[in-house]
Amino acid sequence: MARADAQVKRRRRTATAAGRPHPPALGASHPRIQPEHGWLWRLRWGVRLCLLALAAEMCYALLTSPRFAIRTVELRGDENVCRELAERVQLPPGTNYFRAPTERLAQMLAGFPSVRAVRVTRDFPSRLVVTVQRREPMAVIRDGERALLVDAQGVIYTIRNEMGWGLPELVAPHLNLREAGAREAKAEAAALAAVLNALAPHPQLGVTQLRLESNGEVTAMLESGAEVKLGGREQLAEKVNLLVAVLRRIAPERIATLDLSDPDGAYWRPKEASGRARVEVE
């Protein structure tokens, strides 16, 4: 027995010198490990189960209680667009605040041509807020007293009670109210929108109409009555700069026709004469 105790002490001294924990004596139990009584174990698990049941009951109450039902849907943005969307925003009665389909509602409203962007948020405890950003019209397609609006991307849409007064009118073979949804009409609107984007930095030009001919050439009508032939859409920026330079030298009221189809051979016809003159810009 004395020899065994001496061996244990020797091992402890060796472990201490090496920085290792002391090995326990043979037959000894770790002093920190204590057996847990069965009633204490059952009590702890009972408390955990009660907390889980309480959390589940609270979640169920939040998702089903009529106190958290959506009572108001508020539309923010352009008045005319919101008035049209209000007829389409319909949620089932008793829709829960936490389960309201905000993403699906936003996707549905974004499908309207007059809507550029839409955001749906929750306002605790019973309201949804729909923020709408409308498309800004750049031109109009007319048919009598009816009108379709066109934005900078060539998207064709309508907004109730808006006739697009003061906007340039677009004219093309397929660009009318009856065929506005056709693929050809959309392509023509996009082509004319590209020309309008090039003219937009120069509002002093006073473009009242933009016409796409059957041969693909573009003609612009100015407020003065001058007809400007821009030809095809190639060299468009150069043609627009040349148009601005010409109107600085020649009053638009004097011009009957200005042909910029070929920038190198551009010419103009005055209203008071039957001949034509070559355009010369320094």
Domain shared by 166 and 261, yes or no = yes
CATH number of residue 99's parent domain? 3.10.20
- Looking at the structure, tell me whether residues 78 and 195 fall in a common domain: no
16 occurs within a structural domain: no
Residue 227 sits in the same domain as residue 163:
yes
Q: Do 164 and 268 have their domain in common?
A: yes
For the chain, state the CA radius of gyration.
39
Question: Has residue 141 been placed in a domain?
Answer: yes
For β-strands 227-231 and 218-222, DSSP reports them as antiparallel
Instruction: Give the tens place of pLDDT for each residue, 260-282.
Output: 999 988 999 998 766 677 776 55
Q: Which DSSP symbol is given to 118? A: E
* Confidence band of 11 (pLDDT split at 50, 70, 90): low
Helices (H) and strands (E) in the chain, counts: 6, 13
Mean pLDDT across the stretch 137-148?
88
- CA angle in degrees (0–180, nearest 5) for 277-219-227: 45
Q: Are residues 98 and 201 in the same domain?
A: no
Give the separation between CA 131 and CA 121, rounded to whole angstroms: 8
Assess if residue 45 is contained within a domain. no
The total number of structural domains in the chain stands at 2
Torsion sign, CA atoms 6, 10, 12, 13: positive
Report the pLDDT value the prediction gives residue 151, as an integer from 0 to 100: 94
Residue 73 and residue 170 share a domain: no
Domain boundary among 90, 118, 134: 134
In a shared domain, residues 176 and 96: no
Give mean pLDDT, residues 98-112.
Answer: 91
Whether residue 188 is found in the same domain as residue 217:
yes
Give the residue from 87, 117, 134 where a domain finishes. 134
Same domain, 216 and 262: yes
Three-state secondary structure call for residue 270: strand
Specify which residues 149 forms β-bridges with.
Answer: 140, 157
Tell whether pTM > 0.75.
no
Residue 26 located in a structural domain: no
Instruction: Report the relative pairing of strands 72-76 and 127-134 from DSSP bridges.
Output: parallel
Q: Are residues 88 and 213 in the same domain?
A: no
At 142, list the tokens.
Answer: 């007319």
Query: Which comes out higher in pLDDT, residue 194 or 145?
Result: 194
**Please, are residues 205 and 243 in contact by the beta-carbon 8 Å criterion?**
yes
Q: Do 95 and 150 belong to one domain?
A: no
The share of the chain scoring above pLDDT 90, in percent, equals: 52
Q: Give the span between the Cα atoms of 1 and 260, in whole angstroms.
A: 118
pLDDT tens-digit readout, 198-218? 999 999 999 999 999 989 999
Tell me which residue range forms the domain holding 246: 137-278
d(CA 96, CA 267): 69
- Pick the last residue of a domain from 134, 152, 176: 134
| Residue 107 falls inside a structural domain | yes
